[in-house]
Structure 1
Amino acid sequence: MSVHLLLWLILTGMTAYLANARGRSGPRWFAIGLFLPGVALIAVLLMPRLAKTGVDALVHEDLRPCPACTQSIKAADTRCKHCKAEVEPIALKDRSGWVARFTANSDQEFERLAAQLTLIDIPTILDEAPYAFAGPFEEKAEAQNMLNYLKSTHGLDGLVTWRSVTR
């Protein structure tokens, strides 16, 4: 492989990576970088960062302050990673995270759905009728895997979404 081809691929990859880090479309800027590698890289570097919107803006770890030292810790933690104090974890229903959401069309259907989810050994939130949630999970892929399992094994159809809880 010639040095020019290697340099061209490196510039194109850097352009795509930096574009993605700045809130732009990485694949689109990769394509632009194929034709104008140096120019595209300079253009990306000169563009302002775009704020995340939609679900991307909501996705964050579910954090809370440690009662002992006030440093940020995960809601599920039982021990502070900073001061090592023992803390009470926050209940599932009070945590934000990725969930598989199921919607019931009637009260009777919600009761059947709740009973079915209760029999399956998974974390569930059943206090927001007509919605039932499997989760929350820290990663979207975990919620998607749970939804795929529930769909294939138990015939439950839903969607993966971010559930935000304000404490």
Structure 2
Amino acid sequence: MLFLWLIGLGIVASAVASYKGKSPYLWFWIGALFFPAIIILLVQKDDDSPAVENGAVYARACPYCKEKIRAGAIKCKHCHSAVEPIEIAIPGDDEPRQKTIAEYEEEARNYKP
């Protein structure tokens, strides 16, 4: 059954290639060999878990656009949605804590380039 699917995908790819003036034989093999791999990659679930290194969270997925953002971000740099910062572990602290918006604003005011 799988073999028939591979042949079918190859035929579809070669028909599209032939319509566009490309080599149908080459695209038959590309379609038969690579489309299953692409489908497998598309079906696999993305890992939305945050990146943790030495107990500190450095990135997470935006709940709206699913792009990677910093753990303490209050606004997504990709879709510009407001997000709640998540708990971050600061190396040297015994307990992870969550920075508040006021702390981020204070850091921004005190920032000197």
Q: Same fold (TM over 0.5)?
A: no
TM-score (structure 1 length as normaliser): 0.20
Higher strand share: 1
TM-score by length of 2: 0.29
